[in-house]
Amino acid sequence: MSSPEPSLSISADALAAAAERRTRQLPAQPSATQLAAEHERRQAFRRLIDPGIVRPNSKEQAAASLKTLLTIAENLLREPGNPKFQQFKPTNTTIKKNLVDPKGTLEYAIELGFRPEVKNFQPYYTFNPRRIGDLETGTAILKEFVDLENERAERASRSKVDQKAVAAAVAQQVSQIFKDVAVDG
């Protein structure tokens, strides 16, 4: 026979206090509207990459441009107070080759929060610190895309190596069959 469960009595005040502690510990959840806005912002950055940068430029140029954008963005996120990372000159050789000349890359930099300015008769693109949220989102999308492309390239090279190994094994087997036929025949 089973013994009856002991009854626990918890006061309503203790329950209310426990619920209040639990709600204070939970982080604030974004609303559906905020989530939809964030999703749309991420999609806009993705569209700036493909078709904006990837389609009109060669594969090599697009990869170099995206890596340059990612480097600029990561440096700025790592050291936001460093004035060296808060601006870039469009006349710099690397910047001109990878950001100014290719289609779509300068537009991405502008969406990250960079704005054109002239200082001492020199053109610059300077970061607006109020756009740090855009910088974080745009950098995450860039990193996601660059990592995905690196993974695809690695997979393709592994596939080529595997295909060559299979072809070499087949050639070896065919060669061995011919040798066996020549010895038997």
Interval 40-68 mean pLDDT: 88
Quickly count: other Cβ atoms within 10 Å of residue 157's Cβ. 10
Mean pLDDT of 156-169: 74
Query: Predicted confidence band at 33 (pLDDT cuts at 50, 70, 90)?
Result: confident
Q: Is the pTM of this model over 0.85?
A: no
Rounded to whole angstroms, the Cα distance separating 109 from 127 reads 9
Please check the confidence at residue 41 and state whether its pLDDT lies above 80.
yes
Distance CA 65, CA 53 (A): 8
User: Distance (Å, rounded) from C-alpha 140 to C-alpha 133?
Assistant: 11
Measured over the CA atoms of residue 20, residue 24, residue 27 and residue 28, the dihedral's sign is positive
Mean pLDDT score of the chain: 83
Burial degree of 46 (CB within 10 A; 0-12, 13-18, 19+):
middle
DSSP string, 92-106: SHHHIIIIISSTTHH
Q: Which residues contact 115 (CB under 8 A, 6 or more apart)?
A: 125, 126, 127, 128
Q: What is the mean pLDDT of residues 42-70?
A: 88
Torsion of CA 37, 87, 51, 158, to 10 degrees: -110
- Of the candidates 49, 65, 134, which has an alpha carbon nearest to the alpha carbon of residue 102? 65
Q: How many CB atoms lie within 10 A of CB 131?
A: 17
Is residue 164 predicted with pLDDT exceeding 80? no
Instruction: Report whether pLDDT(2) > 70.
Output: no
What local confidence, expressed as pLDDT, does residue 185 receive? 59
